[in-house]
């Protein structure tokens, strides 16, 4: 049996248990550049320095799955935050569960606008990028550890096959 997760609007308040929403809306900007630029300052708690790590910048190009999509796996980075900012302007889906022991009953799905990014807090369970409509690029800020570190040290996965959780593309996307 499959359960379709309801899509919640992505807001700072609703997403707070999982990290930060990166968006200008609701922030009072600082005027800089002699008035040419509004700076919406310091919107994400980048936290990538644990165990000799540092923040790196990459681009992700993600292809949308066929919807409805049954969730297969979620991942968790205990040593660093991971921020995603869409570059395509297209809406996308963010599926998360609280840090700690994985609880399939606490998985939540958010519908993000195309001008909303997120920063997953350390340890937040999250599904990989779920794009809508077309292959879409994201700027990603995450952690790179020392060469001696094993990849598994900062990436845990949990299988969702047994839970039958699915997401559906929103109407019009």
- Which of 11, 50, 60, 70 forms a contact with a second copy (CB under 8 A)? 60
What's the min distance (Å) between Cβ of 132 and a second copy? 13
Give yes or no for residue 42 binding a second copy (CB under 8 A).
yes
Give yes or no for residue 49 binding a second copy (CB under 8 A).
yes
Buried b / exposed e across 97-132, counting CB within 10 Å, b at 16+? bbbeebebeebbbbbbebebbbbbbbbbbbbebbbb
Reading the block at residue 168, the tokens are: 């559906």
What's the min distance (Å) between Cβ of 67 and a second copy? 13
Residue number, 1 or 36, with CB nearest to a second copy: 36
- Phi/psi of residue 30, nearest 5 degrees: -100, 125
- Which of 13, 26, 28, 34 forms a contact with a second copy (CB under 8 A)? 34
Q: Of the ranges 3-11, 16-24, 96-104, 162-170, which one interacts with a second copy (CB under 8 A)?
A: 16-24
- Which of 137, 149, 153, 168 forms a contact with a second copy (CB under 8 A)? 137
CA separation for the pair 90, 112 (Å, rounded): 9
Q: Note whether 110 and 80 are within 8 A (CB).
A: no
């Amino acid at each position: 049996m499959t359960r379709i997760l309801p899509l919640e609007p992505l807001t700072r308040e609703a997403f707070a248990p999982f990290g930060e929403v990166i968006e200008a809306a609701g922030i009072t900007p600082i005027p800089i550049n002699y008035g040419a630029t509004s700076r919406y300052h310091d919107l994400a708690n980048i936290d990538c320095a644990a165990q000799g790590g540092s923040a790196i910048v990459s681009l992700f190009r993600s292809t949308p799955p066929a919807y409805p999509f049954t969730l297969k796996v979620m991942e968790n980075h205990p040593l660093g935050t991971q921020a995603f900012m869409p570059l395509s302007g297209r809406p996308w889906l963010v599926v998360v569960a609280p840090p700690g022991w994985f609880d399939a009953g606490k998985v939540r799905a958010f519908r993000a606008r195309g001008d909303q990014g997120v920063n997953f807090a350390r340890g937040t369970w999250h599904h990989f990028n779920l794009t809508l409509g077309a292959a879409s690029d994201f700027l990603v800020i995450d952690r790179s550890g020392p060469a001696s570190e094993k990849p598994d040290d900062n990436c845990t996965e949990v299988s969702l096959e047994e839970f039958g959780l699915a997401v559906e593309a929103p109407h019009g996307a």
